[in-house]
Amino acid sequence: MTSSARPPARLFGGIEAGGTKFVCAVGSGPHDLRACRELPTTTPAATLPAVVEFFQAQAAQAPLSAIGIGCFGPLGLDPAGPDFGFITSTPKPGWQNVDLAGALARALNLPVGLDTDVNAAALAEHRWGAAQGLDTFVYLTVGTGIGGGVMCAGRLLHGLVHPEIGHMRIPHDLAADPFPGACPYHRDCLEGLASGLALAARWGAPGPTLPPAHPAWRLEAHYLALAAANLVCALSPQRLLFGGGVMRQAHMLPAIRAELLDLLHGYVQSPALLERTDEFLQLPRLGERAGVLGGLALALQASQP
């Protein structure tokens, strides 16, 4: 029998850069994650050297091809802009105007891909998860905050800066819902009305403690269906992936699907939407790992010419 040994998989470094921790991993995909380390997000001067040290130690064992970072924003993503690769105007103290991609590229001497955490998660879902084979879809996470990533015609959408789906304005009937909204910038934008934080503030109890029949959920489904309808009309996505802590309530998806169809009122004629609604609006598949796998997917992308 001849040897069928395959060449070793190319290895990548993935980073999920969050407000409280940097999750760093090395591997080639979801079934090949070889090392993972969580480092606290303190200051750039403390966190970034720790990140570099982790990847240097990994690279000493087996070389890495590239690093990818899915990061909290806002980020400079215009290759022609002076702040390309930077975390820009974040409210997180100490992290404004930090050259994140540049610092890691110089320290590790590797190509570095950077995008928003939600665009990164969208890319991972495209490569390994619930959006395989599609070229235009939206990934939305509804947790403490709300964020969305968009792939449009096979590319992550940047444009002016990058999508800020969580801050889209949606109709707010103050008679039905007098809660003023929780967003420090806009009060009653989508995130201000429908994030986990808003839900807990409105009802005086965290979402997971509210039973499925609680009116909180009907209102929540209403706001998320409005967002879904806007996304369908604005972007013509082939699929919507709604995840995050709030979507762990199993009754939410069916409620949002039903109201989405009501809101669109037959105007958008597509069997994928009308006949396969369960597939059209579904949960992401990579779960908790979408973030760090998003970093790996960005690294894969960065390693390609």
Torsion angles phi and psi, residue 176, rounded to 5? -80, -30
- Would you state the structure tokens that stand for residue 239, as one six-digit string? 């699929």
Binding site for Zn ion (CB under 5 A): 167, 183, 185-186, 189
When the beta carbons of 189 and 252 are compared against Zn ion, the nearer one is: 189
- Please give the Cα distance from 293 to 15 (Å, whole number): 8
Q: Please identify, using beta-carbon distances, which residue of 142 and 189 lies nearer to Zn ion.
A: 189
In whole angstroms, what is the distance from residue 139 CA to residue 127 CA?
Answer: 13
Cα separation, 213 vs 204, whole angstroms: 16
At its nearest, how many Å lie between Zn ion and the CB of residue 169? 8
Contact 116, 70 (CB under 8 A): yes
* Cβ 191 to Zn ion shortest distance, Å: 5
Q: Least distance in Å: CB of 276 to Zn ion? A: 32
Q: Write down the least CB distance from residue 181 to Zn ion, Å.
A: 8
What is the per-residue DSSP string for 139-164? EEEESSSEEEEEEETTEE--TTS---
Nearer of residues 158 and 187 to Zn ion, judged by Cβ:
187
Q: Which is nearer to Zn ion, 105 or 183 (CB)?
A: 183
Residue with tokens 């087996």: 62
- At its nearest, how many Å lie between Zn ion and the CB of residue 165? 10
Q: 183 or 241: whose CB is closer to Zn ion?
A: 183
d(CA 253, CA 258): 9
How far apart (Å, rounded) are the C-alpha atoms in residues 248 and 44?
Answer: 33
Closer residue to Zn ion in complex, CB, 21/167: 167
Q: Which helix (H) or strand (E) holds 286?
A: none
CB of 188 to Zn ion, least distance (A): 8
Of 58, 69, 56, give the one whose Cα is nearest residue 26: 58
